[in-house]
Structure 1
């Protein structure tokens, strides 16, 4: 009874029971001739062999077994009872040969095959297919039989993965279909090839098919190993043998996605060997390359003990991905590594300022609202340069309130001037959007003064507010200025302004930190926004703040398709939508600021509020 407590075990029991019941209902044992029994045993033996010699498919090493091709060919030539007998013989022999596999897995596997074979047979017969020989007239029934076989397999596997992984129905089925659609199309072709061979020369045809399958398996295995070897070379740094910069980013992308979905900690480290240029100048580049190799080996050995991923980021910079690691554990690990580096002798390091090899490192922790890996790496980079600035041979954790973050930012005036230049492109097309952006910018300036934002965040919010609607330059004038409610297709086009805005500012590297504000300011706290439907704190903080400011100005300013609200009416709306459209953490502080204004937007003479969020 304990076995039936979990949903997955209940499901396994249900499918197994159904498969056995259907098998017993359709199996029979007529008086087969000696030749038929010999054919049956030969087919079962072929399936055993093909299960061992599978075809490996790059890039992930998924394997294609041709056992389904054999079952379908057997079904088309000999009918259902014969095929079920083949399945039974194969399953018994396979379970005896693979006794390390848990017994219930053998039974479940047998049941799923029985359900797929039975469903395919009746789909084939229902469409008008005829058993016995291969005809072109049966082409549609062949396709329907394969579709039925495929559909049952997808449903049985999909439901299990949904129960086991608690993932969405759509994502599970998309992944399964993507993985097995192509192999199943191959299965149909191969099943027809086998059926034609066996219809002409029964056992000899089966022998020829088995030889072809065996040779294909060997050829694809060699091809796959060659592919892996070339892929590894492409992903490795030639000098140190570590992962290279490009592959590091691929791994980091996956790890960040996984960490955010599972709500597990993740840290990223960038480290730079101190005074490496001086070492190169003293001893030459060949000796410098030896130092990089030895240091890379040291970092790799220490990191692999913790299941961390190491890469050569570029030059004398290295990077480490630390899954399931808090910043406390990360700084402890890095300080131990730093001490070990100091204590390890490398030829010529006595000439360096510290008399030993040292590095400076920056650590950034992935948060729920981290927008992308570029933001994470930028934080680690800032922390690393902060360590350099404090005297080197240090490990520094990214702190958004550090003076260094402010030092690394360009002056606000210069950035605003550039953003203002970008924004003036609206003047010839949409004066309303230009004026709206200027008002949102002013609200952002005032609101940033009363929030506990770092200089870097404050500048990003103000700049983002100024250019957040820049993508509307791509919207046709007649839609922007339309009186009355937008049609559904017009509204869909209007929503694309966030994506177009992202594309516009992505061309300017100085503005890349503003991408989250431009692209995500219409995301909603409850997950019903666009373009991605992000929810809660998975939306970057500054985008959540900008959403409130942008919406307030939109409500209180006349628009072509919407009447204006008074400030008091808009405040009521903000409170109604707090926790739905807006992050409640920032709604009341914004309202407190607005209450210092009259309806003309002029600041009253009250003392400024200071709010810690």
Structure 2
């Protein structure tokens, strides 16, 4: 990584937030603690060391709670008890020494992470102490008649922690702040209530029994931590059994679906590569029919074990997808590296003997594989799986025992019969002739524009196929809208506009019923998203919207502006171009807008030279 990129990473919003958090925590510490170490007497130091030992023991005996496995520690009960009995000054003194010892002991963790953790604790102690005093709490024995300050102090402690962590995930990973806070409270509320109860118990024990009370408290909490650890270990074993495929020893389909979503979200947030491979044992049915299902199951187990061995020591997740299909999810791998990785496994498998492989056409055990890379504009995990599946299909067409990368430029993909697929979609669109002839003509014009723009954009065969077919079918959902709304001459009401907007959802449902149309769903569902994030149905923005969907939005809008419609005034080509430029950067992708405008201007100048120029020629149609 270059020095420039390293510098850029240092100034990422997430890192800047951590720096601000550290400054705020340090300021809270200095303001509250006021260098009290220089004023402590011998008895004060004994007290500090005693509470420090208790905090370190609680830090050591951390535990995890199902289902997420978030690490929990009861050290907060020590800090809260210090606030209740001795005040925030001593609590922060204990925290500082504890943080230094933990940082020295656990040097594998980045120093900035230790600093951030210390700062969050400082802010939690500072805020909860302030709230405790504000609510009338007094340092000393437990006040049986006024428990409100204790509960408010805990609430402040918990809320401060939630906001500090929630803001980090919001700034760094663009998680929803509301969802982060809601998830935090849902997972941690019970733990914090336990923390409050334990801190109150510790307050009573220390005040009335001194060191003996503290020792009794430590004994109880250590036993509880051990019990929680046993519970979590048992939960993990049950979870592993639920996530495992018994026949192969690999993860099952359900686990794959979950981990795929997690890894895609991580790749999007961190900008790291992610590649998926879908592999299928060649001629497995022939082997099954010849040797029986028991022998076929042994073959599945054999391949599963080989894949597991190949992935050991790496971040690759191997799962059984179903039947004789397997998936390899490869975080951190670019497409080319993943291709070589899968192809190396394929060659090794060819050279590995298994009983009965002689009946296979290749005379050895083999598989075909499709490899597809994650791209930021893939907004649904099923899209990545579909791309890997499509690549697998191409691998099979090449004679099997082949690895094919999605989007490769070869003759197999160029052999796709676009004409037949266009014909199939046009049969669907013919229904518009009787319901809304305007939508039928619009779809044909948008298709023609897409055909031309695919040449301007120099799209590869697979991209061109999905783009032009997606342009042709993009308004298919309007088939589900009422005739009186589609053909209304007056201005639409708010309710009718909401109904019109639902056509993208209906279109997705229609396309989902046909295996050949599934790749076209993004064009159907996202052609009303806006570059600034104010579109529908998801509010995607910028590069979150697939590039060719952004192109389709421009084409669709231009044709809508230059064609007579019952709910919008018709614009001339010059007016439409002016509108496109005015909306570039907000509604439309600026770069793609200029490309389309140059194309339209060339097309318009060509038609101006003809005496037969009219609005129909401005918007070319397929006849």
2:416 is aligned with 1:406: yes
Give the counterpart of 1:310 among 295, 315, 318. 318
Deviation, 1:521, is: 0.8
Partner of 1:221: 229
Moved more, 314-323 or 136-145: 136-145
Tell me if the contact between 2:77 and 2:198 (Cα under 8 Å) persists in the aligned partners. Answer: no
* Deviations 1:501-527 (CA, angstroms, capped at 9, x unpaired): 535654665543332122211122344
Partner of 1:230: 238
Looking at structure 2, the residues matched to 245 and 574 of structure 1 have their Cα atoms a distance apart, in angstroms, of: 46
* Deviations 1:554-608 (CA, angstroms, capped at 9, x unpaired): 3235556643323432233234434543333444335555667778653489999
Q: Say if 1:53 and 1:328 are closer, same or farther in 2 by CA, change over 3 A.
A: closer
Q: Give structure 1 stretches of 5+ with no counterpart.
A: 428-433, 609-613
Partner of 1:569: 575
* Deviations 1:126-174 (CA, angstroms, capped at 9, x unpaired): 2333444545764543343223323444565567778xx8555x65785
Deviation, 1:270, is: 1.9
Superposition pairs for residues 593-608 of structure 1, below 5 Å? 593=603, 601-603=615-617
2:444 is aligned with 1:442: yes
Deviation, 1:353, is: 2.0
Q: Say if 1:436 and 1:45 are closer, same or farther in 2 by CA, change over 3 A.
A: farther
Superposition pairs for residues 17-32 of structure 1, below 5 Å? 17-25=26-34, 27=36
* Deviations 1:314-333 (CA, angstroms, capped at 9, x unpaired): 22222222333333333333
Deviation, 1:536, is: 4.0
2:188 is aligned with 1:183: yes
Looking at structure 1, the residues matched to 185 and 197 of structure 2 have their Cα atoms a distance apart, in angstroms, of: 19
Q: Say if 1:51 and 1:14 are closer, same or farther in 2 by CA, change over 3 A.
A: same
Tell me if the contact between 1:527 and 1:535 (Cα under 8 Å) persists in the aligned partners. Answer: yes
Partner of 1:381: 389
Partner of 1:589: 599
Tell me if the contact between 2:342 and 2:403 (Cα under 8 Å) persists in the aligned partners. Answer: yes
Q: Give structure 2 stretches of 5+ with no counterpart.
A: 1-6
Looking at structure 2, the residues matched to 54 and 457 of structure 1 have their Cα atoms a distance apart, in angstroms, of: 52
Looking at structure 2, the residues matched to 517 and 463 of structure 1 have their Cα atoms a distance apart, in angstroms, of: 10
Q: Say if 1:190 and 1:21 are closer, same or farther in 2 by CA, change over 3 A.
A: closer
Secondary structure, aligned partner of 1:444: helix
Moved more, 503-512 or 351-360: 503-512
Looking at structure 2, the residues matched to 388 and 296 of structure 1 have their Cα atoms a distance apart, in angstroms, of: 21
Partner of 2:4: none
Q: Say if 1:593 and 1:306 are closer, same or farther in 2 by CA, change over 3 A.
A: farther
Secondary structure, aligned partner of 1:257: helix
Superposition pairs for residues 238-257 of structure 1, below 5 Å? 238-257=246-265
Secondary structure, aligned partner of 2:574: helix
* Deviations 1:242-284 (CA, angstroms, capped at 9, x unpaired): 2222322322233333334444443322222222222222222
Secondary structure, aligned partner of 2:279: strand
Deviation, 1:354, is: 1.9
Aligned length: 590
Partner of 1:467: 476
Deviation, 1:115, is: 4.2
Looking at structure 1, the residues matched to 602 and 301 of structure 2 have their Cα atoms a distance apart, in angstroms, of: 58
Deviation, 1:341, is: 1.7
Looking at structure 1, the residues matched to 620 and 520 of structure 2 have their Cα atoms a distance apart, in angstroms, of: 32
Partner of 1:65: 73
Secondary structure, aligned partner of 1:363: strand
Deviation, 1:446, is: 2.0
Secondary structure, aligned partner of 1:406: coil
TM-score by length of 2: 0.79
RMSD: 4.4
Looking at structure 1, the residues matched to 279 and 103 of structure 2 have their Cα atoms a distance apart, in angstroms, of: 52
* Deviations 1:51-85 (CA, angstroms, capped at 9, x unpaired): 12223112332122122123223323444455456
Looking at structure 2, the residues matched to 88 and 602 of structure 1 have their Cα atoms a distance apart, in angstroms, of: 77
Q: Say if 1:82 and 1:275 are closer, same or farther in 2 by CA, change over 3 A.
A: closer
Looking at structure 2, the residues matched to 368 and 542 of structure 1 have their Cα atoms a distance apart, in angstroms, of: 13
